[in-house]
Amino acid sequence: MTAKDEQPWRRLGLTDEEYRRITAALGREPNLIELNIYSVMWSEHCSYKHSRDLLRLLPSEGPQVLQGPGENAGVVDLGDGWAAAFKIESHNHPTAVEPFQGAATGAGGIIRDIVAMGARPVALLGSLRFGPPGERRSRYLFERATAGLAWYGRETGIPVAGGELYFEECYRGNPLVNVLCVGLLPAGRVMRGRAAGEGNLVLLAGARTGRDGIHGVTFASDELTAEVEEEERPPVQVGDAELGKALIEATLEVIEKGLAVGVQDLGGAGLSCALTETAARAGSGIEVELARVPLREEGMAAHEILTSESQERMLLVVTPQSETVAAAAFEKRGLFCTTLGRVTGDGLVTVKHHGEVVARVPAQSVVDGAPVYRPASREPKYYRELAGFDLLSLPPVEDFNRAFLKVFSSPELAGRACSDESGDAAAEEGLLADFDRADAALLQPGLAMAVAGNGRQVYLDPYRGSLFAVAAAARRLACVGALPLGITDGLNFGNPEKPEIFWQFRRSVEGIAAACRALELPVVGGNVSFYNEVAGEAIYPTPVVGAVGLLDEPGRWCGTGFRREQDLIYLLGAPEASLGGSQFLKYVHGKVAGVLPPIDLELEKRLQELLRRLIREELLGSAHNVADGGLAVALAESSLRGECGAEVTLPESSSPETALFGEGPSRVVVSVKPGPGRARFEELAGEAAVPAVLLGRTGGKSLRIAAGEAARIDLPLGQLQKVCGEAVPWRSR
């Protein structure tokens, strides 16, 4: 190893050029503690140095936006004096190392982000991806991660209302755990993470600080190794849901009493992040004494205290007059609350340890001074090769029942039905519907939330696949009758320093931006997770879009299940789809290839507006987004969820396989009661210029689908239910 490799900044993940920027900002050489602060804050996880430039493409403003990107979470106005705070975050690398704690602390971290805005968390959604389910390691990661997410939600009283689950080869060593949290707050009481008011006090509240998670953000800003379990265990944080619940209640009490000037979650980079970000946002400085930090381990060095990511901690800024009352809110719940220091006016974060100044850094340079990289971008070779795959070369299906069961029993579909670790979420107070009953989770005040994202589609076409993700998330809300108010995005990609990976990222962000502009959806916050690779092999590019909306009419919403006999079944929206990138192509023919169908964003917008009007006028018995598996799977899911069969004849298509299993955007299956409601339904669809194709009727205890003379599916609902129970082996034991 050369002397250059031994340079301390290099060991901390900083480049020589970044080190020069730091010395220029300080006007001197930094000491090791200051280098640690810059190292964690200039990591990809905190500084977004490879993504910041492109993220500016995303629209973030709108009349309903009370807080956009740049704070702990975004906030949108719900009307009637209420607002919703929401955000999505990833915890991928920690989950690969210790799945239970990785997922649990991912939930804990996003919950605290919501609380820091002054909102009471009301629901969680998970967007999870793992390797092939037949492998022992994938089974372990899945079971432990879902258990960790469910445990933290259950112990804090926040229901996990559903989400999405995928199993793909590319996630074998690098699982994805993205968690969305939504909270409610008075619209006039949005709290922000700002250290405002010279002379105000800086409080650290919650659990003791230990060595868990030290340099966790730099760990999350690098590729995983094949030996990650043994090599990288120290960065994984450890959660305590009981303390997390107490911290939620204490923090909200302080905010509700008007005692807090600013509140900041302690997550990635720990105190280093909380101190510098709150000071930078307010244009102020902070002076603290680390010896006052309650520790749970002896002999912790100053840099360890500053970079520890121990969970269940909050930083609060209060006036001197509020100090005693604010501290009491935490202490009466068995939590620590200590005054670390005060707000200053010099713009510097000054850190003392036992009275000695060990670091003094300009807050703005730490938070905003990281370089902005614009990596090379190159279209991957595979892109055009896979797009050129001839779908007409596929052998025709001889047994459509068998083909359907192969698709329907795929782990992406059956695994969701069998994943019951979240418990009886629908029984939670205030939760009207979870993903077992509707395309979006629905909460008591009419607040709806959904997630969408298909990495396989984005791999085949990053731009169009990302358009699909935004449209699908918003469409899920429309299927329950909700108007989307904003989105949050979790962007999961490989190493951005590789031109092919950055091309995927760039095209994906451009697609999200285009869809958001067309659908008038502001992006109020999100998360970028790079370096999701193992031994140089990247995951599929996986943007996950979380959307939050509000019912047009409180109390009027729509589920996915066929609930009545003899209702008419219609396909609303785009009549055509494609087998490119479909479940059918993967699970029947073992291929991931093909071209995704186009999307008409004007039709998409009209379809969503029509759905909301139909539900507002109570014309629909059910509404279900057509997604993975195509029309045949959507019909099966609606039949199972309502315990009512269906008999339909599909319109002509390029092939019966495409008619049954083709996937594409802007398609929803609805059921309508015969009689006067049918005429009104068709009238409104015509006015909206949204195609409405009559497919058949609900009824019986079987699913019968005809797609031409020889293409028929005829299966009893009992058999479909059994397939769901047996498709994922470890769930049926």
User: Rounded to whole angstroms, how far apart are CA atoms 464 and 455?
Assistant: 12
Token pair for residue 202?
């800086």
Average pLDDT of the chain to the nearest whole number: 92
The one catalytic residue among 45, 50, 93, 303: 45
Token pair for residue 372?
């902005």
Burial class of residue 610 in the structure, from the number of CB atoms within 10 Å of its CB (0-12 exposed, 13-18 middle, 19+ buried)? buried
Q: Which of 81-90, 502-511, 601-610, 652-661 is predicted least confidently?
A: 652-661
Highest mean pLDDT among 116-120, 230-234, 722-726: 116-120
pLDDT, one tens digit per residue, over 543-580 is 999 999 999 888 899 999 999 999 999 999 998 899 99
Please indicate whether residue 91 is annotated as part of the active site: yes
What was the pLDDT predicted at 415?
54
Q: Where are the domains of the chain?
A: 61-191+420-556
Please indicate whether residue 624 is annotated as part of the active site: no
pLDDT at 1 over 80: no
pLDDT at 355 over 60: yes
What was the pLDDT predicted at 444?
83
- Whether 326 contacts 259, CB under 8 Å: yes
What was the pLDDT predicted at 47?
93
pLDDT at 231 over 90: no
pLDDT at 226 over 70: no
> How sure is the predictor about 416, in pLDDT bands with cuts at 50, 70 and 90?
low
pLDDT, one tens digit per residue, over 132-171 is 988 999 999 999 999 999 999 999 999 999 899 999 999 9
The CATH T-level fold of domain 61-191+420-556 is 60s Ribosomal Protein L30; Chain: A; (3.30.1330)
User: Rounded to whole angstroms, how far apart are CA atoms 546 and 487?
Assistant: 5
What was the pLDDT predicted at 176?
97
Taking residues 3-21, report their average pLDDT: 85
What was the pLDDT predicted at 238?
84
Taking residues 58-87, report their average pLDDT: 97
pLDDT at 224 over 70: no
Q: CA torsion 177→162→170→725, rounded to 10°?
A: 130
Burial pattern 223-254, b for ≥16 Cβ within 10 A else e, equals bbeeebeeebeebbbbbbbebbbbbbbbbbbb
pLDDT at 445 over 90: no
